[in-house]
Amino acid sequence: MADARRDTPLYTIGFAALVCVVCALPIAWAAVSLRPRQELNARIDRLEKVLGVAGFMEPGESLTAEQVEARFAEAIVPRAIDLATGDAVDTIDVATYDQRKAMKDPALSVPAPENAARVVSLPRVAVVYEVRRGDSLQAIVLPIQGYGLWSTMYGYIALAGDARTVNGITFYEHGETAGLGGEIENPRWQAKWVGRRAVDDTGAVQLQVIKGAAGPPADDPYRVDGLSGATITGRGVTSTLDFWLGANAFGPYLARVRAGGN
């Protein structure tokens, strides 16, 4: 004979709750126990992207986490920068500072002025990555983000020590259409940026993605080939650079570098 107690709503609810708890416990344990590993992987991935765009890691090169950490420490000097002034900030631990989280924290960010890159807020402090040889600044890697056709595109741009010439660019996270806007990840397209000029002699941002083909950097320094079938994504890249290299973001810092003040 069936147990009548099992036909009651209370039994059904209790049984469902027990199943949920039993299933949730191992998932929660896995999430907590794997978090340090996930955070390490995220950190190593970020360091690899910075090394790559700075020219210290070849595409497809495979390194252990320890090797990535060692190469980064040898080549790159991260610095916290006050975006409003361009001054260095010594009170921030650059190893643990999360700029993307800071942008969402009202205490650590300010509203961004209206911009075509659709950046909503700015961190008060941003981390830049400098390549130095003694006291000589060889290159700078800057984090950038802006909206394309479908998504926010996250990447880095590397400038030479003159804070004008592009050494490289990379995008590591986005939701653009594969084979079209997604070509911002294509190393062949990224290679077309090397040697271009980000700003003119006055410091005004001039670099842009055009529709069609640009000339070589020596003859056409401010323009980069467009992405076939992805005009809006290309405009998003242009808007992203215009914002982050301009006066409202890294402009004050870059101006200090060009003046020899950093």
pLDDT digits (tens, 9 = 90+) for 70-120: 999 999 999 999 999 999 999 999 988 999 999 999 999 999 999 999 999
215 within some domain: yes
Q: How confident is the model over 26-74, as pLDDT tens digits?
A: 665 554 555 566 666 778 888 999 999 999 988 888 889 999 999 999 9
Q: What is the pLDDT of residue 235?
A: 96
109 within some domain: yes
Q: How confident is the model at residue 1 (pLDDT cuts 50, 70, 90)?
A: very low
| The amino acid at 113 | P
**Spatial distance between the Cα atoms of 160 and 164, rounded to a whole number of angstroms:** 7
125 within some domain: yes
| Choice between 20 and 163, residue whose per-residue pLDDT is larger | 163
Which among 125, 69, 58, 129 has a CA at the least distance from the CA of 97? 125
55 dihedral zone (left: phi>0; alpha: psi -120 to 50; beta): left
Q: How confident is the model at residue 9 (pLDDT cuts 50, 70, 90)?
A: low
Q: How confident is the model over 122-175, as pLDDT tens digits?
A: 999 999 999 988 888 999 999 999 999 999 999 999 999 999 999 999 999 999
Q: How confident is the model over 191-247, as pLDDT tens digits?
A: 999 999 999 999 999 999 999 999 999 999 999 999 989 999 999 999 999 999 999
Residue 240, CB-side half-sphere exposure with 13 Å CA sphere: 26
65 within some domain: no
| Choice between 240 and 261, residue whose per-residue pLDDT is larger | 240
56 within some domain: no
The residue range of the domain holding 80 is: 76-258
Q: CA dist 154 to 80, 124, 146, 170, Å?
A: 19, 18, 7, 9
**Spatial distance between the Cα atoms of 29 and 26, rounded to a whole number of angstroms:** 5
Q: Return the SS3 of 138.
A: strand
142 within some domain: yes
In the predicted structure, residue 260 carries a pLDDT above the cut 60: yes
Q: What is the pLDDT of residue 199?
A: 95
**Cβ neighbour number for residue 153 with a 10 Å cutoff:** 25
120 within some domain: yes
184 within some domain: yes
Q: What is the pLDDT of residue 57?
A: 87
**Spatial distance between the Cα atoms of 124 and 106, rounded to a whole number of angstroms:** 10
Q: What is the pLDDT of residue 134?
A: 83
Q: Say what the pTM is.
A: 0.84
Sign of CA dihedral 158, 210, 217, 59: positive
Q: What is the mean pLDDT of residues 181-197?
A: 94
**Number of domains composing the chain:** 1
